[in-house]
């Protein structure tokens, strides 16, 4: 059974690349509904008491979002983003949408698929 081990290690290695690419990119917190600059994507959202106006943690409303600049990432980079949000030309969806509890609140169709992965191809 040595064949499954390389497959598991490959998936693990991919996840490290996804996390490190996004971790190194510039990220900002904005209010939901604020303009998103070209080349940036929404990578998380949440409700934070006392920030960005109305809403409540009970109704699922996300009043803040985190956006990440992916414009300078090299071809082949994979990034986890909120499901259903716009992403730049030159990127394609490679996985998802899936539910990631605690990530990208209020995004995606029922049953609340919250994240998907995109990869830069050009």
**Domain enclosing residue 34, as ranges:** 4-120
pLDDT attached to residue 52: 87
Specify the 3-state DSSP secondary structure of 33: coil
User: Whose CA is closest to 62, among 113, 95, 105?
Assistant: 105
pLDDT digits (tens, 9 = 90+) for 46-101: 888 888 876 666 666 788 999 999 999 999 999 999 998 999 999 999 998 988 87
Tokens matching residue 84: 């259903």
**Measured between alpha carbons, how far is 52 from 67 in angstroms, rounded to an integer?**
15
Tokens matching residue 72: 């300078």
**Measured between alpha carbons, how far is 110 from 10 in angstroms, rounded to an integer?**
31
Domain count, the chain: 1
**Measured between alpha carbons, how far is 88 from 109 in angstroms, rounded to an integer?**
21
Tokens matching residue 40: 């940036």
Enter the pTM of the model.
Answer: 0.75
């Amino acid at each position: 059974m040595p064949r499954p081990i390389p497959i598991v290690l490959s998936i693990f290695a991919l996840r490290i690349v996804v996390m490190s690419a996004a971790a190194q990119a510039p990220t900002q917190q904005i209010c939901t509904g604020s303009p998103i600059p070209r080349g940036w994507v929404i990578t998380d959202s949440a409700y934070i008491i006392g920030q960005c106006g109305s809403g409540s943690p009970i109704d699922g409303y996300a009043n803040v979002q985190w956006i990440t600049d992916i414009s300078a990432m090299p071809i082949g980079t994979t990034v986890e983003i909120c499901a259903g949000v716009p992403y730049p030309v030159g990127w394609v969806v490679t996985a998802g949408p899936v539910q990631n509890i605690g990530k990208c609140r209020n995004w995606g169709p029922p049953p609340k698929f919250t994240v998907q992965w995109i990869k830069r191809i050009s």
